[in-house]
Amino acid sequence: MESIDGIATYPMISLLIFFVFFAVLFWWVFTARKEYIKEVSEIPLEDNNQNNKQAL
């Protein structure tokens, strides 16, 4: 690995992408509207027939 020029840049780029993604995700979680979070969290509990009627 030491014979490849610039090999150390790839782990740094990966770490930067990882950090930016989770920093943005962390920011979104704390700034999201509570009503939206509640609405989305109840989607799996809704009646399947109700979802089909809304689609029609």
What does the pLDDT look like over 13-53, one tens digit per residue?
Answer: 999 999 999 999 999 989 988 898 888 888 888 776 565 55
Q: How would residue 8 be classed by pLDDT, with cut points 50, 70 and 90? A: confident
The reported pLDDT for the residue numbered 25 is 95
- Start-end of H helices in 1-56: 9-31, 34-41, 48-55
- The one-letter code for the residue type at 3 is S
pLDDT of residue 46: 79
Q: Which two tokens stand for residue 4?
A: 């490849």
Residues in the chain: 56
Task: Give the pLDDT of residue 55.
Answer: 58
In this prediction, residue 53 carries a pLDDT of 59
Contacts (Cβ under 8 Å, ≥6 apart) of 1: 7
Rounded Cα gap, residues 45 and 52, in angstroms: 14
